[in-house]
Amino acid sequence: MSWQSALACWYLRRQFRPETLKPGVNVEKARALTAKRAWSPRVPAGWRLREAYGLHDWPLHGEWIERADGVSVAANGPTVLYCHGGGYYFCSPRTHRSLVYGLATRANTSIFSLDYRLAPEHRFPAALDDASAAYRQLVADGTPPESIVISGDSAGGGLALATLVALRDAGDPLPAGCLLFSPWTDLAAAGATIRSNDGLDPMFSGPAIARAAKVYLGDTSATHPFASPVYADLSGLPPLFIMAGSTEVLLDDSQRVADKARAAGVDCELEVWKKMPHVWPLFSPFIPEANRALDRAATFVRRVTSGTTRAAQPSSVTSIA
């Protein structure tokens, strides 16, 4: 564990985790704090940010990071549809630019970061509808499904996986793969690490997870497979690549998805990184482990969109120090 990641964990434990110990969920405060503290890095050299926030931009409402020379990466390589985290009720593409920029430049891929509708103003299935519509628009615009990777972190990771399941059930052509960072896949908060990692996780308390879920779910069952894809049938899905930290309260959300995917015959890699905080790739380029994680994520994006088959692995879990 680098000193940079140790510093990040110290900061999260002091500034973020205390808010998750309070009863209830203060949506407006979470949004205000995020807007105040969000850091937006400079657009990487050779790339451009193209914002699409007008009323006419639906369903591709959000922002593109793409090559600045006008050459479409998608014409010769992958496209990533990215779903940001934030419990379904806060954060935005702007708050996640550090991760998205890092992934785009490493994988040489255009990324569309989706600005999906947030709860409680727009509860389930609004986010799922937006992500599904965005994917279908990419395909309708001429992006081959086999060149697309759906990705996301935390709630956005759960959304990315749920979108994949919903597309399969609807008979849509599926993307090349799905890349997930610390995904929230169980809104019922039934995972064992909700309890066993409570107090170890520098960002969340265990009981906060179920409270946050209610903001998005409303009256929907927490085990609905399109809200909590850990309860979905995962058969027939394209390759999955999942990263999570060993002390996260949400670790079991990743472990159970990996186990279930493997049992269904899906190519699924799970990497458990020792003592990394929730969605640590967001701390790129400052944390070495964030940079390493994005390097590995980029390798996955390139592999699945090139059609390269991964050699069989003896286990679905890799531990990384």
DSSP string, 35-48: HHH---PPPPTTEE
pLDDT at 56: 87
- Write out the CATH class of domain 3-320: alpha beta
Whether 272 shows a pLDDT value over 50: the answer reads yes
Alpha-carbon gap, residue 71 to 74, rounded angstroms: 9
Q: Which of 110, 154, 182, 316 is catalytic?
A: 154
Return the closest-CA partner of residue 240 out of 150, 143, 306. Answer: 150
Tell me the whole-structure pTM to 2 decimals. Answer: 0.95
Alpha-carbon gap, residue 224 to 246, rounded angstroms: 26
With beta carbons less than 8 A apart as the criterion, state whether 222 and 213 touch. Answer: yes
Q: Mean pLDDT score of the chain, rounded to an integer? A: 93
pLDDT band at 307 (very low <50, low <70, confident <90, very high): confident
Active site (annotated) includes residue 248: yes
Whether residue 41 has a cis bond before it, omega within 30° of 0: no
Q: Which of 113, 278, 284, 289 is catalytic?
A: 278
Active site (annotated) includes residue 61: no
Q: Which of 66, 110, 113, 248 is catalytic?
A: 248
* pLDDT tens digits, one per residue of 44-96: 999 999 999 998 889 999 999 999 886 655 556 799 999 999 999 999 999 99
Residue 25, token pair as written in the block: 């969920």
pLDDT at 319: 85
What would the mean pLDDT of 201-213 be, rounded to a whole number? 96
With beta carbons less than 8 A apart as the criterion, state whether 139 and 173 touch. Answer: yes
Active site (annotated) includes residue 289: no
